[in-house]
């Protein structure tokens, strides 16, 4: 987890200096974005689908207690073990205990952002468990020891040669770096693991409250393997991942697949209503559902940010964000990157010192809000988060002084006039082509990488006065 130890500036510099990363990020996000445009245009009335998606998510979130209770009742009625985890540490403990009760050695995982959020692999590896990510992209970054750089394409930042280099020590021989060779290697390698997995851990795209069903989408089929073969299954879900019934599921599955990859549906959409029927020849006999809060209830109680819980984790906002497209995911430093990551990370982690930079990873252009299939006003939430950060007193000393000075001058007309006249003189040594460049700190913090407009020789107030006199 190397990037967690670096500062924001270090991560950003590293990303900007990595031309493959930047090229790969642009290529991948272009592709995903264009596929989404096609898939959404095909539905004919995308805006109506978005409006319906938003209405469904709003209804769920504003009745989350009712639906969650219904889901738990349905699950427990059938013998599913439901665990409610307040914190990431609670969720890790639940999983550790289940693994140790079964004396399990081989744990298979299909993609789960919650498991990234609670840093589960690390904990299980400490216990000596062989825990394997089975999604190809997740497997690559697990070997590399890195967090995902995109919510849908987690190893987007790796070249095929880097992937081959990561696989070679496992294969024990040289591997060609063409995609078919690499995927064939993973198919063979993973097959053995699938067949001897003791416990399967999956994520959850949606949980249907009325029937107590879990919906999972994958393209590779690893989600099906992990939820079909091991005798024991654990599903990790964020507590907001609910849909009231099958009636609403249609809309959300259409929005999710089309927004994420531009597919009509992912290759595999699985609706589990666990555990298996005792007479079924396969499927898990024992099923655990771990429902994580991790400050989601705080977000629920905060009307300004409640809508961030509407997210369906499609990644569409990543693919249109000018900041993400320049930097990729690792520069953010957080498990969830992109615009939605910048919104939810400070709220989930409640640590402005560590995550206060995230609301500023945005040009506020609003492309994210436009791309969001459930119409979360992401750029608006980012502005409000900046406000929240300022209110909490976590802005740097320099920034506070600058705004104090701003308030001082702009509430005193005469002083402002004098200051502008003085500024017009003082700026002279730094003006090139009518822009301010260079200068001492704190000015240089800005001018090192950009220019500032110069103070006009004749300030606006003077121009205005002249205009009045002429009349």
Partner 1 sequence: MSNTSDFISNLAAKLGRPTPTQPPPQVKLSVPQYQLSSSAERVSVFLQNWQALGGKGAIVRSEDETLQCLKQWFGEQPITWFKENSKALLAWDKLPTIAESAFSSLNWPLTRYSQSAFDPRDRYSIAASAELGITGSDWGISLSGTVVVKSDPLRGRAISLLPPRHLSFIESTKIQDNLFNVLEEVAALGSPPAAIEMISGPSRTSDIEMDLSIGVHGPIEVYVIVIDH
DSSP string, 294-318: TTHHHHHT-TTTGGGGG-----HHH
Question: Minimum distance from CB of 405 to partner 1 (Å)?
Answer: 40
Taking each continuous run of H as one helix and of E as one strand, the counts in the chain are 23, 13
Question: Minimum distance from CB of 12 to partner 1 (Å)?
Answer: 24
Tokens of residue 234, six digits: 């654990």
Tokens of residue 447, six digits: 């001018």
- Contact positions with partner 1 (CB under 8 A) in 370-389: none
CB 375 within 8 A of CB 312: no
Whole-number Å distance between alpha carbons of 344 and 362: 14
Question: Minimum distance from CB of 23 to partner 1 (Å)?
Answer: 10
- Contact positions with partner 1 (CB under 8 A) in 165-184: 179-180, 182-183
Stretch touching partner 1 by CB under 8 A, among 79-87, 331-339, 395-403, 405-413: 79-87
The single residue among 88, 275, 339, 346 that binds partner 1, judged by CB under 8 A, is 275
Q: Which residues pair with 131 in a beta bridge?
A: 107
- Contact positions with partner 1 (CB under 8 A) in 81-120: 82-86, 90, 93-94
Nearer to partner 1, 151 or 454 (CB): 151
Pairing mode, strands 106-109 and 130-133? parallel
Nearer to partner 1, 117 or 361 (CB): 117
Stretch touching partner 1 by CB under 8 A, among 9-17, 214-222, 324-332, 457-465: 214-222
Stretch touching partner 1 by CB under 8 A, among 101-109, 129-137, 332-340, 414-422: 129-137
Question: Minimum distance from CB of 136 to partner 1 (Å)?
Answer: 4
Question: Minimum distance from CB of 357 to partner 1 (Å)?
Answer: 28
Binding mask 57-76 for partner 1 (x = CB under 8 A): --x--xxxxxxxx--x----
Whole-number Å distance between alpha carbons of 88 and 470: 69
Q: What are the backbone dihedrals phi and psi of residue 81, each rounded to the nearest 5 degrees, phi first?
A: -85, 115
Q: Which residues pair with 216 in a beta bridge?
A: 270
Stretch touching partner 1 by CB under 8 A, among 113-121, 187-195, 368-376, 454-462: 187-195
Alpha helices in 63-172 (DSSP H): 64-77, 88-101, 113-117, 120-126, 136-144, 160-171
Question: Minimum distance from CB of 409 to partner 1 (Å)?
Answer: 42
Nearer to partner 1, 67 or 430 (CB): 67
The single residue among 8, 18, 273, 451 that binds partner 1, judged by CB under 8 A, is 273
- Contact positions with partner 1 (CB under 8 A) in 135-164: 135-137, 140, 153-156, 158-160, 163
Distances (CA, A) of 43 to 10, 36, 82, 310, 399: 43, 11, 37, 22, 47
Nearer to partner 1, 101 or 440 (CB): 101
Whole-number Å distance between alpha carbons of 320 and 305: 22
- Contact positions with partner 1 (CB under 8 A) in 276-305: 276-277, 279-283, 293, 297-298, 300-301
Question: Minimum distance from CB of 348 to partner 1 (Å)?
Answer: 15
Question: Minimum distance from CB of 263 to partner 1 (Å)?
Answer: 8
- Contact positions with partner 1 (CB under 8 A) in 386-425: none
The single residue among 142, 227, 307, 345 that binds partner 1, judged by CB under 8 A, is 227
Nearer to partner 1, 256 or 358 (CB): 256
219 binds partner 1 (CB under 8 A): yes
For partner 1 (CB under 8 A), the number of binding residues is 102
Nearer to partner 1, 265 or 406 (CB): 265
Residue ranges of E strands in 387-433: 431-432
Long-range contacts from 425-431, C-beta under 8 angstroms, 24+ separation = 427/454, 427/455
Neighbouring residues of 80: CB distance < 8 A, sequence distance ≥ 6: 212, 274, 275, 287, 288, 289
Where is 327: in which H helix or E strand? helix 322-327
* Strand, helix or coil for residue 105: coil
- Contact positions with partner 1 (CB under 8 A) in 23-62: 24, 27-28, 31, 43-45, 48-49, 52, 55-56, 59, 62
Residue 85 per-residue DSSP state: E
Longest dimension (CA), the chain: 94
Q: What are the backbone dihedrals phi and psi of residue 130, each rounded to the nearest 5 degrees, phi first?
A: -85, 95
């Amino acid at each position: 987890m190397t990037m967690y130890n670096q500062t924001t500036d270090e991560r950003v510099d590293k990303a900007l200096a990595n031309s493959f990363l930047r090229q790969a990020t642009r290529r991948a996000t272009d592709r995903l974005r264009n596929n989404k445009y096609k898939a959404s245009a095909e539905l004919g009335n995308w805006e109506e689908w978005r409006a319906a998606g938003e209405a469904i998510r709003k209804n769920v979130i504003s009745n989350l207690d009712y639906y969650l209770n219904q889901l738990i009742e349905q699950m427990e009625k059938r013998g599913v073990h439901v665990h409610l985890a307040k914190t990431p540490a609670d969720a890790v403990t639940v999983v550790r205990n289940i693994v140790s009760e079964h004396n399990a050695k081989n744990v298979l995982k299909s993609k789960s952002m919650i498991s990234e959020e609670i840093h589960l692999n690390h904990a299980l590896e400490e216990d000596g468990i062989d825990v394997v990510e089975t999604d190809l992209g997740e497997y690559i970054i697990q070997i590399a020891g890195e967090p995902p750089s995109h919510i849908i394409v987690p190893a987007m930042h790796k070249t095929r040669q880097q992937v081959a280099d990561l696989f070679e020590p496992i294969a024990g021989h040289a591997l060609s770096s063409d995609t078919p060779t690499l995927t064939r290697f993973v198919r063979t390698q993973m097959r053995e693991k699938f067949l001897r997995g003791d416990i399967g851990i999956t994520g959850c795209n949606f949980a249907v409250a009325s029937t107590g069903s879990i919906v999972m989408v994958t393209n590779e089929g690893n989600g099906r393997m992990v939820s079909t073969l091991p005798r024991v299954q654990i599903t990790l879900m964020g507590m907001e991942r609910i849909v009231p019934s099958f009636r609403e599921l249609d809309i959300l599955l259409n929005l999710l697949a089309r927004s994420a990859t531009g597919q009509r549906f992912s290759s595999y959409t699985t609706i589990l209503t666990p555990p298996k029927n005792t007479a079924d020849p396969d499927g898990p006999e024992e099923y655990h559902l771990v429902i994580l809060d991790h400050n989601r209830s705080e977000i629920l109680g905060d009307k300004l940010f409640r809508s961030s819980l509407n997210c369906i984790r499609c990644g569409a906002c990543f693919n249109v964000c000018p900041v993400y497209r320049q930097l990729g995911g690792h520069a953010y430093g957080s498990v969830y990157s992109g615009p939605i990551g910048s919104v939810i990370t400070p709220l989930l982690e409640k640590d402005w010192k560590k995550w206060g930079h995230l609301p500023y990873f945005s040009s506020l252009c609003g492309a994210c809000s436009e791309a969001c299939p459930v119409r979360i006003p992401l750029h608006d939430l980012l502005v409000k988060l900046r406000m929240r950060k300022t209110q909490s007193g976590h802005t740097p000393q320099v920034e506070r002084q600058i705004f104090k000075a701003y308030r001082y001058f702009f509430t005193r007309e005469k002083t402002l006039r004098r200051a502008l006249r003085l500024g017009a003189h003082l700026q002279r040594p730094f003006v090139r082509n009518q822009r301010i460049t260079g200068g001492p700190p704190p000015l240089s913090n800005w001018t090192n990488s950009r220019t500032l407009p110069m103070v006009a020789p004749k300030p606006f107030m003077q121009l205005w006065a002249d205009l009045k006199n002429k009349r």
